[in-house]
Amino acid sequence: MHVKLKEKIAVLTAKISGKLPLKFVLIFLFVGQIILAVGLTGWLSFNNGQKAVNDLAAQLRDEFTTRIQQHLRTYLEMPHLVNQLNADAVRLGVLKLDNLAELKRYLWHERKSFNTVSYVALGTETGEYIGVQFFDDGSSMIQDMDRTDGKSVIRTWSVDDNGNQIKIDKIQENYDPRSRPWYIEAIKANKPIWTEVYAYFSGVSMTISADQPIHDMSGQLVGVASSDLTLAEVGKFLKNLKIGQTGQTFIMERTGNLIATSTDELPFIRTETTQSISRLVATESKDTITQATAQFLLKTFGNFTQITATQHLNFTFNGERYYLQISPLKDGRGLDWLTVVIIPETDFMKNINANTRDTILLTFIALLVAILIGFIAAQWIIQPIMQLNVAAKKIAEGQWDQDLPVDRKDEIGELALSFSSMELQLSELINNLEKRVQERTQELTKAYKRLKQSQTQLIQSEKMASLGQMVAGVAHEINTPLGYIKNNVELTEDLLKEIKELIDAYNRLVILLTAGDTSEEAINTQFATITELSQKFEEDDTFIEMKQLIADTIHGIAQISNLVVNLKNFSRLDLAAISDVNLNESLDSVLIIAHNMLKYKTEVRKNYGNIPTIECSPSQINQVFLNLLTNAVQAIEEKGIIQISTSADDQFVHIIIQDTGKGIPKSVLAKIFDPFFTTKPIGDGTGLGLSIVYQIVKQHKGRIRAVSQEGKGSKFIVSLPHQLKAK
């Protein structure tokens, strides 16, 4: 049946080509393959660019969300740290609540040291109250209670640069801290809490208060510590972030009220007539992107309270596509915010669209050049053929003396020489027939050898083209270890900042100890700071984490080196760099490298046995595992499972990699280890992956076989000897 079909196609092709001029056929074939190659290249380039945009957008969103939340957690921790220091000082007896002058001086110096906190206060169970605030211009004020004449009056003092009270600027009557909501709620919760976000009395920013009950050594409640934090600094931090080219971010509460935004918009509304302050809801923002994002989230989830985990989303606004990530931010003290990062697709597509335009232009230029070259080539080929055709017709008429292009050195010249020879043969046919037949036979033999040589060259060219595709694939794989090397270096930089903070704390302690007029209170405070930082280091395992990051970075660099070595070993798989290797560890290493490829569509299940180390080339065996895992992932069309098992007997260690993919047809199962054999569409593979696996296993004196059932999955069993050479 296949033979008949081929014959029909050949007949149809002959009929069509026979009716068309040879010049047209040559130009069409020459230009057609150029259009096909360039068009396919442009299409693949655009699709790969789109995928790269999606991956880059996800990485940027994750990176900026992490930076924002890390900054917020650090910034929001400061007021609770101040409250904890004050509560500990009272509990340990360092601060006496009945010594108001000492309390004022302590709080003033404390607030001066913690410049991120806007206001620090203490309220006591006896009704006393002391508050300290520093302003943007460097001035400060102190608030205290006056109980003369049986009245509870809070006085606001202006102070000098040393914290000494100068004069009373304001008096507020009938103030009792014990009746204030911040005092009552802290006692009710009996733990550190946050208040609701509110507008600062000056109306220039939003503020949130951290409150904590204070107990003495016996556990008796003696007061409440409070520290205010202005949220204007959060807005400044967001504005300084450069998210792509035009990306932006904002933070909001579960109610939809804005906390801060990277735009110039304030998170509150001031009424000019009454000077009253009200919160700004994100869905009513004057910034169109902020408003559209909030409305999209509300439409998607129904309510902001339904967002319980990080979400990666896309939406379209005004005909433009946006990448969106929203992540909850909680701290266990009542804080429950949402951080939102938005990046326009145009930030990434500008270069891709420019490349597309360039590709179209180059395609058009290549088409014109191809047509011109095709026309010239057709003329160059057809003209001597036409000359030969005319000569042949005249020879057929008996005109033997014809001027043929025998001076050419190409196939046309050979054909002209053949015509000349044919003329001579016809004239001498009767007297020299046997001799001429022998000469023609020799010419045909030479032509056959040239044809075989051309065929060999074509096969070698095809192999080199496939090798080029493999090199491109290996270069793409290098991006994975480079990505986590970069990430590890950035994380190490953050850890070094924490170490510097501890060293600075120790240096400040040394300065305090060597100064002659340092108070014991200042030394104790600095000791407490160092103790807290040290405990944080122990809890966070900072040095262990840094050591692991450095080890991972070195591993990533080694993996890139291994990829390059494997590429070099493609044509010559020697046994360099032999060492004793635990294949369980090698499998885990490869799984880490291939994590980005595996995580989207596969579940990896490991069933490792207790196996001995073997003699092998680690980089080459890792390449075997990586190629087999890559084939398994590509065989799984949507979601699937990859099962990895290891075991050992007296001579061999056995590795089984099994997938639940589409399987391999029985008709091609015996060919899968042949070089350049592939079942993938043209352009999707080189057909060398399993061939390399087979060669590496054979070089290691091992065995590999495949078992597959179409529609059920495939299983590859690799068996490697304990020792490469007998000892």
Q: Tens of pLDDT along 642-687?
A: 999 999 999 999 999 999 988 888 888 888 888 767 776 655 555 6
Closest by alpha carbon to 206, among 239, 249, 235? 235
Question: In whole numbers, what is the pLDDT of the chain averaged over residues?
Answer: 79
Q: In the prediction, which pLDDT does 610 show?
A: 92
**Pairwise CA distance, residues 303 & 430, whole Å:** 104
Q: In the prediction, which pLDDT does 456 show?
A: 43
- Both tokens of residue 314? 């896309």
pLDDT at 102 over 70: yes
pLDDT > 90 in the chain, percent = 24
Residue the block writes with tokens 């001498």: 428
**Pairwise CA distance, residues 188 & 550, whole Å:** 47
The 10s digit of each residue's pLDDT in 501-544 is 778 877 876 787 777 677 777 778 877 887 877 777 676 666 67
Residue the block writes with tokens 């160092």: 530
Q: In the prediction, which pLDDT does 473 show?
A: 45
Q: In the prediction, which pLDDT does 574 show?
A: 44
pLDDT at 548 over 70: yes
Helix then strand then coil, % of the chain, to nearest 5:
55, 20, 25
User: What is the gyration radius of the CA atoms in the chain, in angstroms?
Assistant: 40
What is the three-class DSSP state of 275? Answer: coil
**Pairwise CA distance, residues 619 & 477, whole Å:** 15
Q: In the prediction, which pLDDT does 612 show?
A: 93
Answer whether 27's CB lies under 8 Å from 378's CB: yes
Which residues have CB under 8 Å from 65's CB, separation 6+?
Answer: 310, 325, 327, 339, 341
Residue the block writes with tokens 């006496």: 96
- Both tokens of residue 111? 């607030």
pLDDT at 464 over 60: no
CATH of domain 234-344: 3.30.450
Answer whether 169's CB lies under 8 Å from 142's CB: no
Q: In the prediction, which pLDDT does 484 show?
A: 63
- Both tokens of residue 310? 């990080």
- Both tokens of residue 376? 């010239």
Q: Counting every residue, how long is the chain?
A: 727
Which residue did the predictor score with more confidence, 600 or 284? 284
For residues 25, 26, 30, 35, the Cα torsion angle rounded to the nearest 10 degrees is: -20
**Pairwise CA distance, residues 272 & 256, whole Å:** 24
Strand pairing of 165-173 and 153-159?
A: antiparallel
**Pairwise CA distance, residues 714 & 718, whole Å:** 13
Cβ neighbours, 10 Å, residue 445: 10
pLDDT at 203 over 70: no
Give all strands (DSSP E) within 567-651, no chain letters: 579-581, 602-607, 614-616, 640-648
Topology alike, domains 76-230 and 234-344: yes
Q: What is the mean pLDDT of residues 371-382?
A: 70
Please report which confidence band the pLDDT of residue 405 belongs to, taking 50, 70 and 90 as the band edges. Answer: low
Please report which confidence band the pLDDT of residue 565 belongs to, taking 50, 70 and 90 as the band edges. Answer: low
Answer whether 180's CB lies under 8 Å from 143's CB: no
Residue the block writes with tokens 């993919």: 661
**Pairwise CA distance, residues 589 & 556, whole Å:** 10
Which residues have CB under 8 Å from 502's CB, separation 6+?
Answer: 530, 533, 534, 537
Closest by alpha carbon to 224, among 271, 176, 258? 176
pLDDT at 39 over 80: no
pLDDT at 114 over 60: yes
pLDDT at 346 over 80: yes
Q: What is the mean pLDDT of residues 471-478?
A: 54
Q: In the prediction, which pLDDT does 687 show?
A: 66
Q: In the prediction, which pLDDT does 648 show?
A: 93
Q: In the prediction, which pLDDT does 339 show?
A: 93
Q: What is the mean pLDDT of residues 482-487?
A: 71
Which residue did the predictor score with more confidence, 305 or 404? 305
CATH of domain 76-230: 3.30.450.20
C-alpha torsion sign, points 623, 628, 630, 631: positive
| pTM for this model (two decimals) | 0.47
Q: In the prediction, which pLDDT does 299 show?
A: 92
Answer whether 83's CB lies under 8 Å from 192's CB: yes
Please report which confidence band the pLDDT of residue 617 belongs to, taking 50, 70 and 90 as the band edges. Answer: confident
Answer whether 577's CB lies under 8 Å from 618's CB: yes
**Pairwise CA distance, residues 673 & 689, whole Å:** 8
pLDDT at 447 over 80: no
- Both tokens of residue 340? 């939102």
pLDDT at 392 over 50: yes
pLDDT at 222 over 70: yes
CATH classification of 569-727 is 3.30.565.10, yes or no? yes
Strand pairing of 258-261 and 268-270?
A: unpaired
| Least confident interval from 162-166, 546-550, 681-685 | 681-685
pLDDT at 467 over 50: no
Q: In the prediction, which pLDDT does 430 show?
A: 47
Q: What is the mean pLDDT of residues 255-282?
A: 84
The residue type at 168:
I
Please report which confidence band the pLDDT of residue 340 belongs to, taking 50, 70 and 90 as the band edges. Answer: very high
Give the domain ranges of the chain.
76-230, 234-344, 569-727
Q: In the prediction, which pLDDT does 294 show?
A: 92
Answer whether 140's CB lies under 8 Å from 133's CB: yes
Q: In the prediction, which pLDDT does 9 show?
A: 60
Strand pairing of 129-134 and 140-146?
A: antiparallel
